[in-house]
Amino acid sequence: MNSKLDSIKQRYEKLGLALAAPDAMADQAAWRAMVKEHADLSEIVEKYGGWLAADASRADCRAMLEDKLDPDMREMVHAELQELEEKQESLMNELKVLLLPKDPNDDKDVIIEIRAGTGGDEAALFGADLLRMYLRYAERNNYKVEYITSNMTDMGGVKEVVLSLGGRRGAYSRLKYESGVHRVQRVPETESQGRIHTSAATVAVLPEAEDVEVDIKDGDLRIDTYRSSGAGGQHVNKTDSAIRITHLPTGLVVACQDERSQLKNKEQAMRLLKSRLLEMYQSQQDEALAKERRSMVGSGDRSERIRTYNFPQGRVTDHRIGLTLYKLEQFLDGDMDEMIDALILADRAAKLGESADE
């Protein structure tokens, strides 16, 4: 462990010298890569520096104990030794977490897809609740929100909504645990008998692909235009502005009809297609990612029920980690950090256990 940390420290110092060189910015791409790597290593180096300082202080304390000390001074030195040992243990545990392999997508913006599941109109209305929850979370975290496509019901429910959230580093690292089936238990407004109904909506969270990551050949695409349809929009059914793109090698189909401009709809559809292709390619090529998805935390299996929102009891329960919060109203208003932090901690603990077994 120490040799690995020493090499990281040396790499950090080498990067610092390279970034300070007069011609460091001559190659902008290389400079940006060095800046990112330097920033990524900074927390590890800082904590390792604290660990080394505590280790040096422990050596000083042990040397003092070899001298003749009065009982009070000896007791003080022993107490300081214990504090330093606890500090080192805490720092080393933090360093183990920081040294875990990072998800290469964590710094990316996200594309969130929300679709009504079983439950008819009530499922669509619950989908609208989830949409508002993520919009409020985005507002709390200063994420930029952009709709890619939306298909709403006449009652204001969600048939399907796709939107991007980002503009700040780490959006995917926070929201990737939202993929799965979200279940709601409540009495619908249309229920005259006061019976509790159960319905569901699915959420998929994808890292937004960058142009350099997914190579799409023009010959692999079939692009169809059609007239927009559905609730809302003054230009509905007036122009052939809606776009449907089929990726022929994989059969993936995306569509966008929210914008008046056919060109804008095509751009948005291509963003969505690239992100879906990126997820598919990474899932196929990265066995570690597939293993992670099958684990308790972070599963991307959309048939898996991950969370229940129980309105009569005012609770939200995440079934992957067994955590229940009795603050449903606040949670649906975007106050999600307590749940997300717990999911991240559980994920890290699972990965630490796996690394210890290897």
Percent helix, strand, coil in the chain, to 5, is: 50, 20, 30
Residues 23 and 93 in one domain: yes
Phi first, then psi: give them for residue 167, nearest 5 degrees: 95, -15
| 347 SS3 class | helix
Q: What percent of the chain has pLDDT over 90?
A: 44
pLDDT at 286 over 60: no
- Sheet of 242-247, strand order: 221-226, 242-247, 252-256
Length, in residues, of the chain: 358
**The predicted structure's pLDDT at residue 31:** 92
**Between vectors from CA 67 to CA 61 and to CA 68, what angle results, nearest 5°?**
125
Given the structure tokens 């249309």, which residue do they identify? 190
306 touches 320 (CB < 8 A): yes
Which token pair is 196?
A: 């509790």
- Partnered with residue 242 across adjacent β-strands are 226
Among candidate residues 50, 78, 98, the one where a domain is terminated: 98
User: Strand, coil or helix: what is 144?
Assistant: strand
Query: What is the total count of domains within the chain?
Result: 3
Q: Token pair for residue 137?
A: 């979370």
Q: Domain check: are 205 and 168 in the same one?
A: yes
Q: Write the CB contacts of 250 (distance below 8 Å, at least 6 apart in sequence).
A: 277, 280
The verdict on residue 222 lying in a domain is yes
| Shared-domain flag, residues 201 and 127 | yes
Distance CA 126, CA 139 (A): 20
| Helices 262-285 and 287-294, axial angle in degrees (round to 10) | 90
Q: Within this chain, do residues 252 and 298 fall inside the same structural domain, yes or no?
A: no
What are the pLDDT digits (tens) for 149-172? 888 998 889 999 999 998 877 899
Task: Determine, yes or no, domain membership for 122.
Answer: yes
Average pLDDT of every residue of the chain: 84
| pLDDT attached to residue 358 | 54
Q: Using the 8-state DSSP alphabet, how is residue 96 labeled?
A: H
Q: Are residues 203 and 115 in the same domain?
A: yes
Note whether 226 and 240 are same-domain residues. Answer: yes
Is the same domain home to 51 and 87?
Answer: yes
Least confident among 23-27, 76-80, 138-142, 212-216? 212-216
Asked if residue 358 belongs to a domain, the reply is: no
Place of tokens 């937004």: 208
Distance CA(140)–CA(143), nearest Å, equals 8
168 and 306 housed in the same domain? yes
Look up the domain containing 227 and give its range. 218-284
Q: Which residue has the higher pLDDT, 63 or 291?
A: 63
Residue 149 within any structural domain of the chain = yes
Once rounded to an integer, what is the mean pLDDT over residues 4-15? Answer: 92
Same domain, 227 and 273: yes
What would the two tokens of residue 322 be? 């067994």
User: What SS3 string covers 316-332?
Assistant: EEECCCCEEECCHHHHH
- With contact defined as beta carbons under 8 Å apart, do 266 and 245 qualify? yes
How far is it, in rounded angstroms, from Cα 56 to Cα 50?
10
Q: In this model, does residue 101 exceed pLDDT 80?
A: no
